[in-house]
Amino acid sequence: MDNRNDLWRHVDANKERLIALSDRVWGMPEVCYTEARSSAEHTAELEHQGFRVTKNVAEIPTAVIGEAGEGGPVIAFMGEYDALPGLSQEAGVASHKPVEDGGHGHGCGHNLLGSAALLAAVAMKEWLAENKLPGRVRYYGCPAEEGGAAKAFMVRAGAFDDVDVAISWHPSSWWEVAPPLALANTRADFVFTGRTSHAAAAPHLGRSALDAVELMNVGVNYMREHMPSDARVHYAVLDTGGIAPNVVQAHARVRYSIRARDLRGMLELVQRVKKIAEGAALMTETKMEMRIVSAVSDLLGNTPLEQAMHGVMEELGPPHFDDADRAFAQDIRKTLQPQEIASIWRTIGMEDSGAALADFLVPLDAKRNPAIGSTDIGDVSWAVPTVQAHAPTVAIGTPFHTWQVVSQGKTPAAHKAMIHVAKAMVGTGAAVLLDPALMAAAKADHKKKLGADGYTSPLPPEVKPPLTMSLGG
């Protein structure tokens, strides 16, 4: 029972089915809350494996939970299956070849992410049953990681209230415990309404919403000097008010993404951006409405879980890549900029060795220079002790959200990494389940990191999952 090989046998016994699932999901790329087929594929697999299935989690039609086992602690494995727009690409070729012009593609490897997490859950289910152990395992099928923040809505709806530990992973260049760093992020639309008029005959009667957007952006760009250096603010103009320069634009809309190192810092920054928008409205005599689209929290680490996962990954060793895997990764490497490769090596504090696939475990105390984005697992990490792995599904240096990730989404190397990380995840879950002291330490660490203020969802209560929003990224 305490033999990990026993646990991993269950991963190997189910790997072919889950690799096939990953490849099918790769072939039906669906973005941000439209993952009907991908979610149905995951649901069908959960049902086939005998999980108790809950659909429409948090009133999101493409979110699903499967549970197995009885009593004991609840271990959650976190899966995703959303793709990205505009990244259609053939598999297994080292050049940019869309399958369908303008089509979607799995540019973040979430086909592998969801399938490996489900594989870990299946293995844990069988292991619990075989050893007659108390404990429940859950698979969380989470849509819309890219820009939709589904997990933040699922946390707000209470879907993690009785979970003891959450375990996740993400495709990467590296084999490592993921450093617990992510920025809190709010997406908000600023909608300006003015008054139209003929721009030559009666310009004094018009009040331009587009002017307001421009002034707002200028104001925010002046704010940059006076915000924390690790905060990030970026925008896209979604509505310029029309294409006719001789008509004063009565409506305009700009979408902002406002990121900061922690939740409190982000909420402060959102208020400052809102004041600038109000100022722009005042200057232009237009009306302004701020609409929060989605929001995610920063990531809380969990030291005992990170150490436990690192131990399991050390025991497993890196995935066993062969010469064919390395040769294709070298072909992909040739399509990358040297700066891209160098910057990925810098994230683990190392120099480019020329290797195309990671064949070592990154030390837990590597001198990192991380590139920090945002993720909706942030909110899960505030709700319950959470740990994440990275597994090398791509050639070292491959930037995410690119055709190169899509091309590598079905390679034998990616499949090996996916199976390997499922073993790391289920090994970590079993370690927590079998060791009450580790469970207690993980919970104590979580409580300490939550601090006196605890967690408040960054989503205002009136904001619903943006199910019809079609913008990824």
Residues near Zn ion (CB under 5 A): 108
Asked if residues 60 and 376 have their Cβ atoms less than 8 Å apart, the reply is no
- Minimum CB separation of residue 169 from Zn ion in Å reads 10
- Minimum CB separation of residue 52 from Zn ion in Å reads 28
Q: Which is nearer to Zn ion, 119 or 432 (CB)?
A: 119
Q: Which is nearer to Zn ion, 298 or 445 (CB)?
A: 298
User: What is the rounded distance in angstroms from the CA atom of residue 131 to the CA atom of residue 129?
Assistant: 5
Here the tokens at position 155 are: 């946390």
Q: Which is nearer to Zn ion, 179 or 241 (CB)?
A: 179
- Minimum CB separation of residue 171 from Zn ion in Å reads 7
- Minimum CB separation of residue 344 from Zn ion in Å reads 15
Give long-range contacts, CB 8 A cutoff, 24+ apart: 467-470: 467/33, 467/60, 467/61, 468/33, 469/32, 469/33, 469/147, 469/148, 469/293, 470/31, 470/32, 470/34, 470/85
Query: Which residue do the tokens 């208020």 mark?
Result: 271
Q: Across-strand partners of 74? A: 136
The size of the chain, in residues, is 473
User: What is the rounded distance in angstroms from the CA atom of residue 26 to the CA atom of residue 35?
Assistant: 12
Q: Which is nearer to Zn ion, 81 or 160 (CB)?
A: 81
Residue number closest to Zn ion, CB atom: 108
Q: Which is nearer to Zn ion, 409 or 427 (CB)?
A: 409
Chain centroid offset of residue 278 CA: 32
Beta sheet of 287-296, edge-to-edge order: 232-239, 251-260, 184-193, 287-296
Q: Which is nearer to Zn ion, 108 or 419 (CB)?
A: 108
- Minimum CB separation of residue 373 from Zn ion in Å reads 9
User: What is the rounded distance in angstroms from the CA atom of residue 450 to the CA atom of residue 438?
Assistant: 18
- Minimum CB separation of residue 406 from Zn ion in Å reads 12
- Minimum CB separation of residue 461 from Zn ion in Å reads 27
Q: Which is nearer to Zn ion, 82 or 211 (CB)?
A: 82
